[in-house]
A and B are shown apart, each in its own frame.
Chain A
Amino acid sequence: MTVLRTAGGLSLRFRPRALAVGVGAALLAAGLGLVALGSGDYPMGPADVLRTLVGGGTPAEQFIVHELRLPRLVTALLVGAALSLAGTVFQSLVRNPLGSPDILGFTQGASAGALVVIVLGGSSLALAGAAVVGGLATGLVIYALAWRRGVHGFRLILVGIGISAILTGVNGYLLTRAPLMDAARAVLWLTGSLDGRGWANAGPLLVVLVVLAPVVLIGCGPALRMMELGDDTASALGVPVRRLRLVLLTAAVLLVSFAAAAAGPVSFVALVAPHVTKRLTRAPGPNLLPSMALGAALLVGADLVAQRAFPGHQLPVGVVTGVIGGGYLVWLLAMERRAGRL
């Protein structure tokens, strides 16, 4: 722990290691972003990309960077950061590393909402709105079933797994009802993809993140650390437990839903990024900011792999995160079992 103090009695405390991880992840995200902006059918060097970003370059380069590649990159950064922040909040509230929105069913709820719009037909704005409504509705149901009398981490996870199974069934039904063209579009959406994402996709998520990140990081962050000690201890330390939980749950569900609206339910980022952050920082407590940066880097990296790993054949980013995340989950379950927590 390092402490900075001013003569006026103000003080800031931080862990150098956590700071280093956060800065490192942010630089990694920026570096990968630069590579992503420069690669594709029209390759550009990092210097050209930077020059184009600040307004130079040919009109063609301007178009390629600003209109084609940058919106996709920004969407990836925002989705990664939002999912990772939401995942950290969930895992911390549930006090269980498995408490990620993928496993708890929020992602499936957002998918169900979006699928309804895809099947019935509607604009991409309606799709985004429906995803948010679906996510929030799932949040309400899970809250009512499992959360009313305080968090019992494992019960919440089991209820979440049940809800998520039901919703997967609902989603499957919706797919069978959809016309073939729509079904194909729906399946692509369900995998999670950044293909063809424009400013219209990034915009709403950016607004949500700009509003909610300070609420979560500054408004609730310190209290969330106390919540890790158990509801009783947190309450004894002056944390308004019930209100805090409601605010954080709402914020996290909104983040997940808007991220799903922008890129589809990209799997496992919310599970993996907070975890890797915790291992790297070696710090107890939710490491909100480093974990946001790492989530952003992870998704940009995964999207780069998805676009470039198989030349001439693009994968949806959800396939890559699924493979990485699924492997990580299996490994995690083995570790948790060894540690006797599962």
Chain B
Amino acid sequence: MHPGTSRLGGTALTLAYDQRTITENLTVAVPDNSFTVIIGPNACGKSTLLRALSRMLRPSAGTVLLDGRDIHDLPARKVARTLGLLPQSSIAPDGITVAELVARGRYPHQGLLRQWSREDERVVEESMAATGVDDLADRSVDELSGGQRQRVWIAMALAQQTPLLLLDEPTTYLDIAHQIEILDLCARLHEEQGRTLVAVLHDLNHAARYATHLIAMRDGRVVAAGEPASVVTADLVAEVFGLPCRVIDDPETGTPLVVPAARRRATTLAPEPA
């Protein structure tokens, strides 16, 4: 499914915050045109890896390569035209409208005397349409629901027009319907616009359903990487998450579906007396 090429990846990465080492000697590659999802238990280093891949964290050893060059040798603006990131938390300035916020995604394409080109205008409109927030253009971001707000932030990242888009837990804090809405949106951006997506997700079943390439991490190591069908097995879930489970076919999509083992089989059969 994926040709062997990769514009973004890391080799022999050691990532640390101050003295605390998160990963050592980690090597990953993001296949081009994939929807890559990184999974793993809390504190396994998946968000740290995403920060390193997006140039926000400088590795203490090893290199992150973007188009064959060390990402830290490239100017920040040039990286921002190639690689977009939706961080876990962002701040919407008081009273900013949806259209204004999305427009800020054009920053890496603008200059002192090129503050708002027709191209900027067109891309912002397209980005809002692609994420279904065009109706909200003049609304204040403060007034929106969590799901709407997340779509606005994605629209801002789209307006950056980067072939690569990284998303750090884009579905956290959303209810289940909005989670699926955001993931459907991501899948559509991947399929229709041909962007390479990399997301950190918490929900294993979401990851298995939407990803074309999975990276499973534990304790700062990559335990397995590949297509969900080959990565998501009962053994791997037990190894990575320490969770006994069965893996069945998702009745909707045929992708792997993780069903955690019951606490004790008997309890599911005999309801407890009231």
With A222-B107, A237-B105, A238-B107 already in contact, the answer to whether A282 and B54 are too (CB < 8 A) is: no
The total of interchain contacts (Cβ-Cβ below 8 angstroms) comes to: 89
Asked if B268 lies at the interface with its beta carbon under 8 angstroms from chain A, I say no
Question: Which of chain A's residues has its CB closest to B93's CB?
Answer: A284
Asked if B112 lies at the interface with its beta carbon under 8 angstroms from chain A, I say yes
Bound complex: CA of A233 vs CA of B107, how far in Å? 11
Give a binary string over B50-92; 1 marks a CB under 8 Å from any A CB, 0 the rest: 0000111000000000000000000111111100111111111
Bound complex: CA of A222 vs CA of B89, how far in Å? 21
Give a binary string over B114-134; 1 marks a CB under 8 Å from any A CB, 0 the rest: 111110000000000000000
Asked if B160 lies at the interface with its beta carbon under 8 angstroms from chain A, I say yes
Residue from the list B78, B85, B110 in contact with A232, Cβ < 8 A: B85
Residue from the list B87, B93, B114 in contact with A11, Cβ < 8 A: B114
Asked if A47 lies at the interface with its beta carbon under 8 angstroms from chain B, I say no
Residue from the list B76, B94, B113 in contact with A240, Cβ < 8 A: B76
Question: Which of chain A's residues has its CB closest to B80's CB?
Answer: A238
With A284-B93, A285-B93 already in contact, the answer to whether A237 and B87 are too (CB < 8 A) is: no
With A9-B114, A11-B117, A232-B85 already in contact, the answer to whether A238 and B95 are too (CB < 8 A) is: no
Q: Do residues B91 and A9 form an inter-chain contact, with CB atoms below 8 A?
A: no
Q: How many residues on the A side are at the interface (Cβ–Cβ under 8 A)?
A: 27
Question: Which of chain B's residues has its CB closest to A95's CB?
Answer: B91
Q: Do residues A226 and B91 form an inter-chain contact, with CB atoms below 8 A?
A: no
With A11-B116, A222-B107, A284-B96 already in contact, the answer to whether A232 and B80 are too (CB < 8 A) is: no
Asked if A228 lies at the interface with its beta carbon under 8 angstroms from chain B, I say yes
Residue from the list B87, B91, B112 in contact with A218, Cβ < 8 A: B112
Kindly provide the distance from the CB of B171 to the nearest chain A CB, expressed in whole angstroms.
17
Residue from the list B88, B92, B114 in contact with A229, Cβ < 8 A: B92
Residues of chain A within 8 A of B96, CB atoms compared: 284
Kindly provide the distance from the CB of B86 to the nearest chain A CB, expressed in whole angstroms.
8
Q: Do residues A229 and B76 form an inter-chain contact, with CB atoms below 8 A?
A: no
Question: Which of chain A's residues has its CB closest to B168's CB?
Answer: A232
Asked if A12 lies at the interface with its beta carbon under 8 angstroms from chain B, I say yes
Question: Which of chain B's residues has its CB closest to A236's CB?
Answer: B85
Kindly provide the distance from the CB of A335 to the nearest chain B CB, expressed in whole angstroms.
12
Asked if B206 lies at the interface with its beta carbon under 8 angstroms from chain A, I say no
Asked if B178 lies at the interface with its beta carbon under 8 angstroms from chain A, I say no
Bound complex: CA of A226 vs CA of B160, how far in Å? 13
Asked if B41 lies at the interface with its beta carbon under 8 angstroms from chain A, I say no
Asked if A337 lies at the interface with its beta carbon under 8 angstroms from chain B, I say no
Residues of chain B within 8 A of A9, CB atoms compared: 114, 117
Q: Do residues B76 and A11 form an inter-chain contact, with CB atoms below 8 A?
A: no
Residue from the list A12, A228, A229 in contact with B113, Cβ < 8 A: A12
Asked if B108 lies at the interface with its beta carbon under 8 angstroms from chain A, I say yes
Question: Which of chain B's residues has its CB closest to A239's CB?
Answer: B76
Question: Which of chain A's residues has its CB closest to B113's CB?
Answer: A10
Residue from the list B55, B87, B107 in contact with A226, Cβ < 8 A: B107
Q: Do residues B116 and A233 form an inter-chain contact, with CB atoms below 8 A?
A: no
Asked if B104 lies at the interface with its beta carbon under 8 angstroms from chain A, I say yes
Residue from the list B94, B112, B114 in contact with A284, Cβ < 8 A: B94
Residue from the list A95, A222, A236, A284 in contact with B87, Cβ < 8 A: A236
Kindly provide the distance from the CB of A229 to the nearest chain B CB, expressed in whole angstroms.
5
Residues of chain A within 8 A of B76, CB atoms compared: 235, 238-240
Bound complex: CA of A218 vs CA of B77, how far in Å? 17
Q: Do residues B87 and A233 form an inter-chain contact, with CB atoms below 8 A?
A: yes
Bound complex: CA of A238 vs CA of B78, how far in Å? 7
Q: Do residues A284 and B95 form an inter-chain contact, with CB atoms below 8 A?
A: yes
16 pairs, CB–CB < 8 Å, chain A vs chain B? A1-B100, A11-B113, A12-B113, A222-B107, A225-B104, A229-B91, A229-B93, A233-B90, A233-B91, A235-B55, A235-B76, A236-B84, A236-B86, A238-B75, A238-B78, A284-B95
Which residues of A line the B interface, CB within 8 A?
A: 1, 3, 5, 9-13, 95, 218, 222, 225-226, 228-230, 232-233, 235-240, 282, 284-285
* The 7 nearest A-B residue pairs measured at CB: A238-B80, A232-B87, A236-B85, A284-B93, A238-B77, A13-B116, A238-B108
List 20 extra interface pairs beyond A5-B117, A228-B93, A235-B54, CB under 8 A: A3-B115, A9-B114, A10-B114, A12-B115, A222-B107, A226-B107, A228-B91, A230-B87, A230-B90, A232-B87, A233-B87, A235-B76, A237-B160, A238-B75, A238-B76, A238-B80, A238-B81, A240-B76, A284-B95, A285-B93
